[in-house]
Structure 1
Amino acid sequence: MIVHITMDSKNFEGQYFNAAHVEVIDDREIHYSKYISIENLLKLLSKSKYEEKNREHHIGTLPQYYFDGMINRDDDERLSGKIVLTIPKRKGTVQFKETSYEIYFPAFLFCFSLRKGRINDTYVFALKGEKWNRNSRLYNYPFGNVSTSSHKVCWGRNQLPVIDSLHQLDMVCSLFFDSSTNNDYYTKGVSTKWKYDNLRGVLECLKKRDSFPEHILVPSQYSNIGTYLDSVFK
């Protein structure tokens, strides 16, 4: 059996398509085809049963922000692996201690490390622009709660959900953005090029702007996304 999955940019426009065209050719060379939603496609991919259990499978680039990943399911169908997502620029709210700030965010790259349905680690980088590939530069996360050296997220007391399918990682990204922040891991001149001693100074400046000033982002130790992925999937 052969399966072809096509992201139909002609009928579904935009950077992240809403549907995929799936064509199946069985052993008798009979063709079957239909459109399915991206959400259902992700569920099918993440729940697929393989003849070889516990073997990682490369998922590649998928719609709805999925940039790359290696996943597997064990005999109990629990999901493990590493999944990379890119989140586009957005406007949102940052809760800094007792103050809420409405600001513009840059784009971000998330890397989730899963073991048996549990999120072991989360890493976050900032990105410039709106479209990315392996040559795109990675930058330090410009706020708090993310280490500027390891780029690992400090989740604090947040309870992370069990991940049964890939599309649930969208909810984890939302939880990250909705979580309150503080000065933990914020580093003057390293989190951003601005020299504020306190994250509040950065947020006070950003709330006055109608877009995120990408020139303040500080390059990470990784030369580009490709270099980082090579270290993640080695």
Structure 2
Amino acid sequence: MNRNDMLVLHITNDYKVSVETMENGVSSVKYISAESILDCLKSSIHNDGRIDSGILPQNCISYSGCANGNEFVVISFEEKTTDIIFEKTEYKDFPIPRLVFGFLISGDGRIINVRLGVTEKGRLTPKSKMFVYPFSNVSGFHLCTGSNVLPKIKSLHQLGGLPYYILKMPNNYDYYKESRTKLNLDYRGLLEHLKDKDSQYYYDNVLVGTDKTLNDFIAEVNL
């Protein structure tokens, strides 16, 4: 495989695994057992260490490991609503577009970087389109958590609960610009406008496209 080729793992809620490969612009999908993919990962390591991811979080779409102990895990967040807090206002069951989270974890379980983006709906591929994140506290794909300290983890499957934790953290106007959406509203006005809409409304009326793909979201990380 060359640098433009890619291999992506898809894991369903019932732990079925499909491997999508992109070689010379041609995509193919093969379905395999979880045991087979673990055996493959283990056999790919020679004398420089062993990869054993353990149980991955639900909706994990990408995993990378490095010899220094760092790991990068990308999760597709499939909820269509969530609870958010802006300043002192709580918005219950607030509609959201399809989000992807990327977690860079150190060897001792510290979360040292969080990436957050919006991707298109439907089946995800390396070429899936990314949109400008419409809310605050994100610059590019980098999430700023301010004074909030993210918990350490002991196992990668614990990452599955972090998107809920992060989205409920109080946020403000940090990094927010009216140009983030097609509506050009101030942040309070945006939230008030969106609170009674649905997830699809973002794709029809709100989101601003970028030249980035899901592959860029995954690949632009230094382990």
TM normalised by structure 2 equals 0.71
Alignment check: 8 A CA contact 2:74 2:103 kept: yes
Identity of aligned residues (%): 27
Summarize deviations over 1:115-163 as a string: whole Å, max 9, x none.
Answer: 222111111111221431111101121111111xx32111112221222
Moved over 4 A (4+): 50-55
Compute the displacement of 1:52 (Å): 4.2
Q: Which residue number in structure 2 is paired with residue 32 of structure 1?
A: none
Q: Distance in 1 between matches of 2:211 and 2:49?
A: 32
Matches within 5 A, 1:64-213: 64-72=58-66, 79-102=69-92, 103-116=94-107, 117-147=109-139, 150-190=140-180, 192-196=181-185, 198-213=186-201
Q: Distance in 2 between matches of 1:58 and 1:151?
A: 28
Q: Which residue number in structure 1 is paired with residue 22 of structure 2?
A: none
Q: Distance in 2 between matches of 1:202 and 1:115?
A: 36
Letter in 2 for 1:225: L
Mark the runs of 5 or more structure 1 residues left unpaired by the alignment.
Answer: 1-6, 8-14, 22-35
Letter in 1 for 2:83: T
Larger radius of gyration: 1
Q: Distance in 2 between matches of 1:58 and 1:232?
A: 21
Alignment check: 8 A CA contact 1:114 1:121 kept: yes
Letter in 1 for 2:146: G
Tell me if 1:18 matches 2:14. yes
TM normalised by structure 1 equals 0.68
Compute the displacement of 1:171 (Å): 2.3
Alignment check: 8 A CA contact 1:144 1:186 kept: yes
Summarize deviations over 1:33-87 as a string: whole Å, max 9, x none.
Answer: xxx9x9xx8xx99xx8x764557x597xx7721111212576xxxx522111111
Mark the runs of 5 or more structure 2 residues left unpaired by the alignment.
Answer: 1-9, 18-32
Letter in 1 for 2:103: F
Q: Distance in 1 between matches of 2:86 and 2:168?
A: 11
Q: Distance in 2 between matches of 1:155 and 1:84?
A: 18
